[in-house]
Amino acid sequence: MRIMKFGGTSVGKPERMHQVKDLITRTSERKIVVLSALSGTTNALVGIGDALAEGKKDLAKERIDALHAHYLEFYKQLLETEAGQKKAEKIIKEHFEFLNIILKISFNEAINRDILAQGELLSTKLFYTLLEEKDIPAIFLPALEFMSIDENNEPELSKISDRLKSILKNYEKDAIFVTQGYICKNHRNEVDNLKRGGSDYTASLIGAAIKASVVEIWTDIDGMHNNDPRVVDKTRPIAQLSFDEAAELAYFGAKILHPASIWPAQNYNIPVKLLNTMEPEAAGTTITAEETGKGVKAIAAKDGIIAVKIKSSRMLLAYGFLRKVFEIFEKYKTPIDMITTSEVAVSVTIDDDSHLKDIVLELEKFGNTEVDYGQTIICVAGNMIAENTGMVKEVMDALVDFPLRMVSYGGSRNNVSILIDTKYKNEALQRLNDELFQW
């Protein structure tokens, strides 16, 4: 069975939703179609929740009405028959009645998660209505019936697999199943989610759960490019990546793929393809366990990075110092991206500042603590590049004109990471592109 995930831009306009319909009916192979919310919807729902959290119900109502108006226009362009349009109108009415009821009750985080779930619920129901209108047999597969996370917000893969296989047994002759990305139930049986970009994660988890033949991630770009095409000239899609290479690039900023979506497919050796909804014949990028060729494959950049430096003369020969530092970040559930050490200082980077004040307060017990905002991690990824000294020299030569805040080299054989002030990012990416990719 094939998993086909379509992102927000792939379903964000009526004509694109029709393209998705055509794509999923090109072959007779059984498939589970995973849909994100329509582009812009999740941001709008976040805005509604933010307004309610601040007690601004009038603003929340204004945002609900604006989103409602968008959907009322959307379904009229999506569906042709009176029956299809009536069904879509009823679906939209139900979901926006729910959003308006929330205006009248006390707001909390559980309600906020309910709000965020509306996007995927709407997109899948409208798409399923389109399939019905076109007499395309399909089964609606509610993600909330099988997707779940535990108390640590980690997916319960074995439970997901058992539930999903049990459901699919009832439909052994059916070929198309439609479900939601992103949303799930938590350990309290409340509606929850897999965080931003979670639809990719859903697709990979479903693929692992049923041992799919392939997981296809359909977006609006023809595969993962060797650099960020939004800021760099002359980029190209990469035909093949290993799971490790793709994981490095996704974690360090390649927007086309959610960082967590690699490991479920990797654990069960399920190929992942990154494909373009608007150019379905393009080869895209295939991600497998196979490692091909040595050298740099691609460059990615992750913005919003904060560097934290702890300097203390007591560090010299201090047994257990690093453990104590890491325990502070662990206490506040704040992951560290990069780390460099010297005899008297340690620098780490984080991308979550929600507990930064508390972290700094505790770190200052060990020594002088400095915080630098506005940093970017540039990741240069490829097969065994950390073992190729000539390649690392090329990377450093390309960046010779820029002040480098940190360099991580050797932690992974597939990655060299550099921390740089964000104001230099675009120029640094272009320089690396010109030096490392000769075409």
Residue 179 DSSP class: E
The 3-state DSSP class for residue 301 equals strand
pLDDT at position 222 is 84
Residue 28 DSSP class: -
pLDDT at position 15 is 96
CB 344 within 8 A of CB 311: yes
CB 224 within 8 A of CB 257: yes
**Both tokens assigned to 423:** 């104001």
CB 375 within 8 A of CB 421: yes
- CA 260 to chain centroid, in Å, comes to 7
pLDDT at position 260 is 79
Sheet of 2-6, strand order: 139-140, 176-180, 31-35, 2-6, 214-219, 272-276, 285-288, 240-242
pLDDT at position 354 is 93
Question: Bridge-partner residues for 408, per DSSP?
Answer: 417
Alpha-helical segments (H) within 277-364? 321-331, 356-363
Render 406-420 in DSSP notation, one character per residue: EEEEEEETTEEEEEE
Rounded CA separation 289/143 (Å): 28
Rounded CA separation 77/428 (Å): 44
Crossing angle between the packed helical segments 425-436 and 389-398, to the nearest 10 degrees: 140
pLDDT at position 78 is 97
Q: What's the Cα-to-Cα distance from 360 to each of 235, 299, 310, 337, rounded to whole Å? A: 40, 31, 9, 17
Burial of 134 (0-12, 13-18, 19+ CB in 10 A): middle
- pLDDT (tens digit, 0 to 9) for every residue of the chain, 439 residues total? 999 999 999 999 999 999 999 999 999 999 999 999 999 999 999 999 999 999 999 999 999 999 999 999 999 999 999 999 999 999 999 999 999 999 999 999 999 999 999 999 999 999 999 999 999 999 999 999 999 999 988 999 999 999 999 999 999 889 999 999 999 999 999 999 998 678 999 999 999 999 999 999 998 888 888 898 888 988 888 899 988 888 888 877 666 777 778 889 999 999 999 999 989 998 999 999 887 767 788 899 999 999 999 988 666 556 778 888 899 999 999 999 899 888 788 999 999 999 999 999 999 988 899 999 999 999 898 876 766 667 778 888 999 999 999 998 766 777 889 999 999 999 999 999 998 886 5
Rounded CA separation 279/283 (Å): 9
CB 277 within 8 A of CB 232: no
pLDDT at position 410 is 65
Show Cβ contacts of residue 140 under 8 Å, excluding neighbours closer than 6 positions: 124, 125, 128, 177, 178, 179
| Residue pointed to by tokens 């991580």 | 408
pLDDT at position 381 is 85
CA angle 38, 184, 189 (to 5 degrees): 140
